[in-house]
Amino acid sequence: MLNASIATGTYTRKIAEFKAQSIVEIKFTEQDMGEAVAVYPQVSLTSAEVSSGRITYGGRLICTVVYADGANLCRVQKGAEFSHHADNDALAPAQTCTCALSCEHTRIKREGSFYIVSVVVGANISVSDSAARSYVQSLEGAVEKREEGKLYSAVAFSGESEADDDFTLVATDVLVPSAEPIVLSCSVRSGVIEVEGEINLSILAVREGSPVAAFRLIPFKAELSCERAIVPSPATCRAEIKDMSVDCKVNEERGKCDVSFNATLAFWGEFYEEEEVSFIADAFSLENQLNLTYGEEECNVPQSVKVYTERASGLCISKAKLDYTCAFLAAALPKADYSRTGEGIEGSVTSVLFFEQGGEVRSTEVTLPFSVNLAGAGEGEATVTVIGISLRQRAEGECEAEATLKIAITECEKHTAKYLTAAEEGEKLQAPQSAITVCIPAAGDGLWETAKKMLCTPQSIQAANPELNYPLTGKERVLIFRGKS
């Protein structure tokens, strides 16, 4: 008669990943600005809450518009709070979620005496929940095949940190600062999550009345408190600029300005608690058929972060007609849209090109497609930031670009655990009547498969056939001698 011992517990796993979009509009009046030459939106998350079938998230959008006022470039900035929701049948209260916001598309249009900036805000949403776990720890009355394995439970963390930098810029004013953080390493230590990375600061500035672009990498380190951080291990982490300020002190005689940069970084991510377990992978009874039920878990456990610096170059796609009457001034505010491929990363770099034509400063959006192969890059989430871009007109009507990309890939290893959750006795097996049983195995059969076919313990098979080598070729004859009952 079977007697199953059941082990029970709880664990946390990811139950849903999906995307949502919303449109946020900010209105400017004619008095606020003139003809726009560049628009830079920046979005940050303020709240995210899961309810039954729905996640409601909110954020803050700040739009900086650079416009031409005669021969001068000026800027105006406005912000807006917004709230949006996304529906998913898997959602329920008490679940935890992460929501990463991004500005996917920006458009400015005129309506009467107003300029309206419309921004498509994308949200990448991941939801986790706790679940019960039970598996058969031992099965008395059956022959067991055991395997060593690991069970995992996800632990989410979040936190904030500050980053500062002071530097000198050869310019007379800063129009738009654009900041993108990239996480280069993240690991669990006793009681804390250690995060290191860089902030890619892209600056659109003015020098002697003309636009110029500058790039600066600002390193950061953060320690986020986490009570469940006990065993050292890698972790996944994303970073977001929650708030930033750029203060400038201009020295007009030197044509320089002293820049003081401060940013509040928001972090969120996860790591996995690991438990080593001896599973019952298979079982059979010498007396009855067994009906076995299995459970399965799958997760991607972070291993390490690989960092690449790559160059992308080629012809750009321009929204404006460019010819030799256009004098290129600066390429600013670059942004990468990308996706993983089997070999690496592909996507495009979008930038604002400022040029002079007919004595006026104009601008247009240019796009550089790229595809880079990353040697040794495994499966995992990628973050790409543009740390420099230059444009030139090598032939009339053509715009050529070269961009420097920094790429961080958090490599993960897929783990699958399959374990026995229940076993029930079925029909009675007919006992062998002969004193000897002969089995003709299939090629590739191991000791366990042979024992299961012959309804004997693996120890009995080995004792009666010590000359056999596993896996079998299919040409052997396996014998079992049975005593009289």
Does 441 lie in the same domain as 396? no
Pairing state between β 317-318 and 288-315:
unpaired
Average pLDDT over residues 57-84: 90
In a domain, 388, yes or no: yes
Task: Assess if residue 225 is contained within a domain.
Answer: no
Query: How far apart are alpha carbons 116 and 305 in whole angstroms?
Result: 41
Together in a domain, 117 and 40: yes
Angle (nearest 5°) at CA 405 between 401 and 407: 155
CB-CB contact of 67 with 76 (8 Å): yes
The answer as to whether 17 is a domain residue is yes
pLDDT per residue as tens digits for the range 400-444: 999 999 999 999 999 999 999 999 999 998 877 777 888 888 999
**Do 24 and 126 share a domain, yes or no?**
yes
Cβ-in-10-Å burial (0-12, 13-18, 19+) of 109 comes to exposed
Same domain, 453 and 352: no
- Residue 376 falls inside a structural domain: yes
Cα-Cα-Cα-Cα dihedral sign, residues 245, 160, 239, 108: negative
Residues 317 and 345 in one domain: yes
Task: Out of 132, 152, 167, pick the residue that ends a domain.
Answer: 132
Q: Are 62 and 123 contained in the same domain?
A: yes
User: Tell me: the pLDDT tens digits for 82-141?
Assistant: 999 999 999 999 899 999 999 999 999 888 888 899 999 999 999 999 999 999 999 999
Q: Which of these three, 132, 162, 193, is where a domain ends?
A: 132
Strands 360-373 and 256-284: what pairing? unpaired
Structure tokens at 180: 């993108």
126 and 25 within one domain: yes
For residues 227-248, give the mean pLDDT.
Answer: 93
Residue 458 inside a domain? The answer is yes
| Residue 341 CB contacts under 8 Å (≥ 6 apart), including other chains | 371
CA–CA distance, 123 with 18 (Å, rounded to integer) = 8
Beta strand ranges found along 358-397 (DSSP E): 360-373, 380-392
Q: What is the pLDDT of residue 113?
A: 80
Q: Are residues 440 and 404 in the same domain?
A: no
Give the count of domains, the chain: 3
Same domain assignment for residues 444 and 402: no
Residue 177 lies in a domain: no
Assign 3-state DSSP to the chain and report helix, strand, coil percentages, each to 5: 5, 75, 20
Residue 88 counted as domain residue:
yes
Q: Which domain holds residue 68?
A: 13-132
Can you give the CATH number for the domain in which 448 is found? 3.10.350
Task: Tell me the per-residue pLDDT of 292-330, one tens digit each, with 9 for 90 and over.
Answer: 999 999 999 999 999 999 999 999 999 888 889 999 999
- Distance between CA atoms of residues 321 and 350, nearest Å: 17
Examine the domain organization and report whether 74 and 35 are in the same domain. Answer: yes
Model confidence, pTM: 0.86
Predicted pLDDT of residue 37: 86
Q: Are residues 317 and 387 in the same domain?
A: yes
Tell me the three state secondary structure of residue 338.
Answer: strand
| Residue that finishes a domain, picked among 81, 102, 132 | 132
C-alpha gyration radius of the chain:
32
**312 located within any domain:** yes
392: region left, alpha or beta (phi > 0 left; psi from -120 to 50 alpha)? beta
DSSP assigned state of 421:
E
Same domain, 352 and 309: yes
